């Protein structure tokens, strides 16, 4: 691929469209500006350019930079983006202000929403203080004319200014290969097939995730029966492998669609009801655990947000549906501590911390009472390192009180505290240290925390090496003496093959560590995923991505027991199987087969089977 670097400051660039060869067209476009009313103009806001004319994206800008794609695109064309970025070297607290990045999206120029997880392309880019080049490639799902789509560069939740030092957009036509264009762009330590950690992971999985199963076969008089066939077929994992879910899709709710966003509302509704059965089928085929992405958050549960899209009744009905299908469930989240993630009326009480605390406790009792009979885990506090308005208002002793209230409202439910970038994106030692100290203070105040949640979002080129994953788990577990779970795993990478390989390696490392309690994806289908197709395992059109195969090959392949053995002279057959629910079928000569269903726990199991004396009936 040809890298076209502007030789003039971006402010003075005009569209530069270059034929690269083989029908490939590349461009180095100038920025235009999306104003607050949605219009796109050439009028740059003040302070948009640093010394030398370099574009500088910051939260203070009154408009968002967009780069129109000045070439025509057909559906199926492969587009690539090369961009050079550099973050401002500014001190900031570890949290939102401590990270630097941009969210890049390709959207129609007249789009009303700049945040769109189902954009043609969407990539979160973490940026360091030294200039870095990034390369992404994707298949365009639609056709558009020159200038009808834009690459939008938004700050989103990032705070530190970022300079755009160079940019190139290329249309490689229908014969381009996104994986080939991005091959070698990102790598991680331990990626090679012979990396030493792999053998250690296999050893740990055998030790901690499997257990011994002995089947003793005899006749009615207790005499051992050698030569009996024992077939063991796994039905369910004991270990929770989960995904984020949407209540309305689980129960096929007749939700509302905004006609301003969906002019052809009837067509959208038809597609909704067409997709829902496939959504439920895929969920049940691939997971034994579900966390609610949005339905149980405080504003949504209270009806303050999402009226007609979410409903308490739908949430409870979906919990019943999950229970009927033997799916573990996790609630998310009782308190997300920024004002913008709590009901608007709560901030009106800001002058009275006592009143705010009373409202929080009342909410915990309300939703806890409604969900306690269904839910195995609840996130009590989400992202306390970044979202702290309510925490700082009421103080740590009262935050500990949230856990105590949750424990009283939901006895037996495991209570979780959840944070990001503890293990994701290379892991942040500073954030990890602060988070552990925060948890330790709560525990010392009597908070009954049961599990530490690591979110596991990977949205950058910083992939945490498997051995580093173990080191981070060791640090947190050693200091807090609590198990950990991956509560929100997903990856937004420009290369499907790398996404699949790292998903498999991360999952192997996680499953192998005895201090881990669960592994939960943050969605699986592009039509219901905050990152759209790029972060999902099944695309919006229901085609499967390589990362789904990587996941299934482990969870329902390598880590799934299907084995047949024979009893020896003592009438015993022994094997090691993955912990969970199994069906054991014993066959001996012409006798009726005996079928048993058992739970295999870490302690192992001895199953005694008596073969009936009568021969098998023949029709």
Contact predicate 169/4, CB 8 Å: no
Q: Are residues 178 and 298 in the same domain?
A: no
Domain span at residue 531?
293-558
Q: What's the pLDDT score for residue 92?
A: 45
CA angle 422/423/425 to nearest 5° reads 100
- Closest by CA position to 591, among listed 609, 567, 615, 555: 615
Q: What's the pLDDT score for residue 90?
A: 62
Q: Are residues 300 and 154 in the same domain?
A: no
> How many domains does the structure of the chain reveal?
2
Asked if residue 425 is part of any domain, the answer here is yes
CATH number of the domain residue 506 falls in:
3.20.20.80
Q: Are residues 475 and 349 in the same domain?
A: yes
Q: Are residues 380 and 503 in the same domain?
A: yes
Q: Are residues 173 and 299 in the same domain?
A: no
Asked if residue 192 is part of any domain, the answer here is no
Q: Are residues 32 and 176 in the same domain?
A: yes
Q: What's the pLDDT score for residue 10?
A: 37
Asked if residue 190 is part of any domain, the answer here is no
Question: For 534-573, what is each residue's pLDDT tens digit?
Answer: 899 999 999 999 999 999 999 999 999 999 999 999 999 9
- Which residues, given as ranges, of the chain have pLDDT below 50? 1-16, 91-97
Beta-bridge mates of residue 330: 291, 377
147, 165, 182 - which closes a domain = 182
Q: What's the pLDDT score for residue 22?
A: 53
Q: Are residues 551 and 408 in the same domain?
A: yes
Please state, in angstroms and rounded to a whole number, the distance separating the CA atoms of residues 582 and 573: 15
**Residue 143 — φ and ψ, nearest 5°?**
-100, 145
533, 558, 583 - which closes a domain = 558
Please state, in angstroms and rounded to a whole number, the distance separating the CA atoms of residues 229 and 271: 49
CATH number of the domain residue 69 falls in:
2.60.120.260
List the structure tokens of 476. Answer: 């947190």
Asked if residue 511 is part of any domain, the answer here is yes
558, 582, 611 - which closes a domain = 558
Query: Which ranges constitute the DSSP H helices of 252-409?
Result: 265-286, 298-302, 312-324, 344-347, 353-371, 389-394, 396-409
Please state, in angstroms and rounded to a whole number, the distance separating the CA atoms of residues 431 and 484: 16
Angle between helices 496-512 and 546-553 (to 10 degrees): 20
Please state, in angstroms and rounded to a whole number, the distance separating the CA atoms of residues 478 and 288: 29
Q: What's the pLDDT score for residue 15?
A: 41
* 162-171 vs 335-336, strand pairing mode: unpaired
Asked if residue 525 is part of any domain, the answer here is yes
Strands (E), 440-513: 451-454, 457-458, 484-491
List the structure tokens of 89. Answer: 């070297």
Asked if residue 233 is part of any domain, the answer here is no
Asked if residue 266 is part of any domain, the answer here is no
Asked if residue 492 is part of any domain, the answer here is yes
């Amino acid at each position: 691929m040809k890298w076209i670097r502007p030789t003039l400051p971006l402010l003075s660039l005009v569209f530069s469209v270059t034929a690269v060869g083989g029908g490939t067209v590349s461009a180095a476009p100038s920025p235009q500006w999306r104003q607050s009313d949605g219009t796109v103009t050439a009028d740059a806001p003040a302070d948009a350019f640093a010394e030398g004319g370099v574009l500088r994206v910051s939260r203070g800008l009154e408009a968002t930079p967009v780069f129109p794609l000045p070439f025509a695109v057909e559906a199926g064309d492969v587009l690539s983006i090369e961009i050079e970025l550099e973050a401002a070297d500014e001190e900031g607290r570890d949290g939102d202000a401590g990270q630097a990045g941009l969210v890049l999206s390709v959207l129609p120029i007249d789009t009303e929403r700049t945040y769109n997880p189902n954009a043609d392309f969407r990539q979160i880019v973490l940026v360091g203080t030294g200039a870095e080049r990034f390369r992404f490639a994707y298949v365009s799902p639609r056709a558009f004319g020159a200038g009808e789509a834009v690459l939008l560069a938004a700050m989103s939740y990032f705070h530190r200014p970022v300079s755009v030092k160079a940019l190139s957009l290329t249309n490689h036509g229908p014969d381009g290969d996104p994986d080939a264009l991005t091959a070698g762009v990102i790598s991680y330590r331990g990626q090679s097939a012979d990396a030493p950690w792999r053998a250690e992971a296999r050893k740990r999985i055998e030790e901690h995730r499997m257990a011994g199963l002995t089947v003793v076969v005899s006749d009615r008089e207790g005499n051992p029966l050698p030569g009996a066939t024992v077939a063991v077929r796994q039905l369910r994992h004991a270990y929770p492998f989960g995904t984020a879910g949407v209540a309305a899709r689980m129960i096929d709710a007749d939700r509302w669609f905004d006609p301003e966003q969906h002019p052809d509302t009837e067509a959208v509704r038809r597609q909704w009801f067409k997709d829902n059965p496939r959504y439920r089928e895929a969920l049940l085929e691939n997971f034994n655990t579900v966390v609610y992405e949005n339905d149980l958050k405080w504003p949504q549960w209270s009806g303050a947000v999402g009226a007609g899209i979410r409903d308490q009744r739908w949430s409870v009905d979906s919990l019943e549906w999950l229970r009927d299908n033997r799916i573990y469930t996790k609630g998310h989240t009782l308190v997300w501590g920024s004002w913008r993630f709590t009901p608007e009326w709560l901030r009106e009480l800001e002058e009275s911390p006592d009143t705010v605390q009373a409202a929080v406790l009342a909410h915990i009792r309300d939703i806890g009472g409604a969900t306690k009979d269904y839910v195995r885990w609840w996130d009590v506090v989400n992202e306390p390192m970044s979202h702290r308005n309510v925490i700082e208002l009421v103080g740590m002793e009262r935050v500990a009180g949230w856990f105590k209230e949750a424990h009283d409202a939901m006895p037996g439910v495991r209570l979780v505290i959840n944070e990001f970038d503890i293990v994701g994106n290379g892991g942040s030692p500073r954030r990890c240290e602060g988070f552990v100290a925060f948890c330790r203070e709560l525990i010392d105040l009597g908070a009954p925390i049961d599990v530490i949640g690591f979110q596991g979002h990977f949205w950058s080129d910083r992939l945490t090496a498997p051995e580093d994953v173990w080191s981070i788990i060791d640090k947190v577990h050693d200091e807090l003496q609590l198990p950990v779970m991956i509560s929100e795993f997903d990856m937004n990478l420009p290369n499907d093959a790398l996404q699949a390989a790292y998903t498999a390696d991360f999952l192997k490392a996680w499953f192998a560590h005895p201090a881990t309690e669960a592994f939960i994806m943050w969605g699986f289908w592009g039509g219901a995923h905050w990152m759209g197709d790029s972060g999902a395992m099944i695309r919006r059109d229901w085609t499967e991505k390589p990362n789904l195969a990587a996941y299934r090959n482990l969870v329902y392949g390598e880590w799934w027991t299907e084995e047949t053995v024979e009893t020896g002279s003592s009438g015993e057959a022994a094997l090691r199987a993955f912990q969970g629910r199994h069906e054991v079928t014993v066959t001996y000569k012409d006798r009726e087969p005996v079928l048993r269903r058992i739970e295999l726990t870490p302690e192992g199991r001895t199953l005694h089977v008596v073969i009936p004396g009568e021969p098998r009936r023949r029709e």
